[in-house]
Amino acid sequence: MRWTRRNFLQAAGGLAAVTGLGLLTHHILEGKAKFSDWRALPGMKLTLTIDTDSPESKAVDLVARYEGKTQTLGTLHGARSLEVEIPFIATTQESYDLTAIVYDTTGAFESEPVEVLSQPFSFGF
């Protein structure tokens, strides 16, 4: 197929419309979210520190990832420091990853994951 001037104008108009609507660009929020530890047990309480401008206006989703699934555990109202109780999730794996996604109306960012041990310990000789 040979491109004519009409094809170029249609392609340029489509690209301008997509860019103007913001469909190709995703805004990433500035900031960091960090748990107080990198590994936890169910029932423990960890502190989530949100370092961004006006964290009170943000929402925080707690997300568990295991066995190829993603499960949202709950949504918290943002603050400089949040105390999060680690939930128990029954999995066939030894652990699952818990992350916090901080977002507002313009974008989002994700914290480093916390490895949560989900299988009971067995100590023996």
Q: Give tens-digit pLDDT for 1-60.
A: 688 888 877 877 777 766 665 555 556 677 888 999 999 999 999 999 998 888 888 899
In angstroms, rounded to a whole number, what is the distance separating the alpha carbons of residues 1 and 13? 20
In angstroms, rounded to a whole number, what is the distance separating the alpha carbons of residues 63 and 97? 8
Residue 110 has pLDDT above 80, yes or no: yes
Q: For 62, phi and psi rounded to 5 degrees?
A: -95, 125
**Residues recorded for the chain:** 125
pTM of the model: 0.70
CA dihedral 36, 43, 39, 62 (to 10 degrees): -70
pLDDT at 20: 62
Average pLDDT, the chain: 84
User: At residue 46, what is the residue type?
Assistant: L
